[in-house]
Amino acid sequence: QVQLVESGGGSVQDGGSLRLSCVVFGYSYIPYCMGWFRQAPGKEREGVAVIDSEGSTRYADSVKGRFTISKDNFKNILYLQMNSLKPEDTAMYYCAVDSFTLSEYGGSWSPGDFGTWGQGTQVTVSS
């Protein structure tokens, strides 16, 4: 059974940093695409960043240059380093995984492409 467990969320000031972690249990398939998504109250879930088994990454325009996605393949942990955080980054952050590569989807990625999700970790950025 595949299970994703996020951690690392918290409350920070505007301009602060956080690193989110997502431990992946029971998923060792190739190919894969793993990503971070977020959902603020009253808004739809949106993609933040993804990484696939070919090493390709994609970022939402709103986080480019501030966030970095990475994966420790030995430990099977997905990370999201978030720097220069802004109040508009406040949301519940989720990790997700599915068996495709970005090249298969023409580089596109959306929440509906992913079938397995974690429970989320809250990030709050205050001004």
- pLDDT over threshold 90, residue 107: no
Q: What is the pLDDT of residue 58?
A: 96
Q: 83 near 17, Cβ under 8 Å?
A: yes
Least confident of 60-69, 96-105, 109-118: 96-105
Q: pLDDT tens digits for 27-79?
A: 888 899 999 999 999 999 999 999 999 999 999 999 999 999 999 999 999 99
Decide: helix, strand or coil at residue 82. Answer: strand
CA dihedral 74, 116, 23, 95 (to 10 degrees): 110
6 contacts 20 by C-beta, under 8 angstroms: yes
Helix (H) or strand (E) run with residue 93 in it: strand 91-98
- 74's tokens: 């030995």
